[in-house]
Amino acid sequence: MPNYSVSMGTLNGMILKMYQVLEPYDTLTRANDNVSGVLNQVKDILARFETMKSQEIMVVDNYGRAHSAAIATS
């Protein structure tokens, strides 16, 4: 039975597929095809808000980095 654990028709196959989608110990990648990668992306976005200064607006530079900038009126 070489395909027993690979097939989705078995309980073991479903558990293996679920583990591949979750990848619970993956803290380095930012992949869109597993839950840990998406959570890592969300954590990165939330960390950007911690560096923003109050009463300033958020701007994004040409490299995709978020910064806070003072509001200037002329």
Q: Give the pLDDT mean for 2-22.
A: 73
For the chain, which residues make up each domain, given as ranges? 11-69
pLDDT at 68 over 80: yes
The reported pLDDT for the residue numbered 1 is: 52
Cα-based distances in Å from 27 to 33, 45, 49, 53, 58: 14, 15, 20, 28, 27
More confident residue, 33 or 73: 33
Percent over 90 (pLDDT), the chain: 8
Q: Enter the pTM of the model.
A: 0.62
Q: Which residues contact 26 (CB under 8 A, 6 or more apart)?
A: 34, 36, 37, 40
C-alpha R_g of the chain: 21
